[in-house]
Amino acid sequence: MTNEAGQKEVHMTPEKSKFDWKRVFFILLGLALFFWIYFMPQWKDAVDPTGKAFPLSPEGKGAIALFLMGRHLVGI
When pLDDT is averaged across residues 21-25 and rounded to a whole number, the result is 86
The pLDDT of residue 53: 92
In a domain, 26, yes or no: yes
The pLDDT of residue 43: 84
| pLDDT over 50 (residue 69) | yes
Domain count, the chain: 1
Q: Which domain holds residue 51?
A: 21-74
In a domain, 1, yes or no: no
In a domain, 35, yes or no: yes
When pLDDT is averaged across residues 55-72 and rounded to a whole number, the result is 83
Q: How confident is the model at residue 44 (pLDDT cuts 50, 70, 90)?
A: confident
| pLDDT over 80 (residue 17) | no
CB atoms within 10 A of CB 69: 20
Cβ neighbours of residue 25 closer than 8 Å, sequence gap 6 or more: none
As a whole number of angstroms, the distance between CA 35 and CA 47 comes to: 25
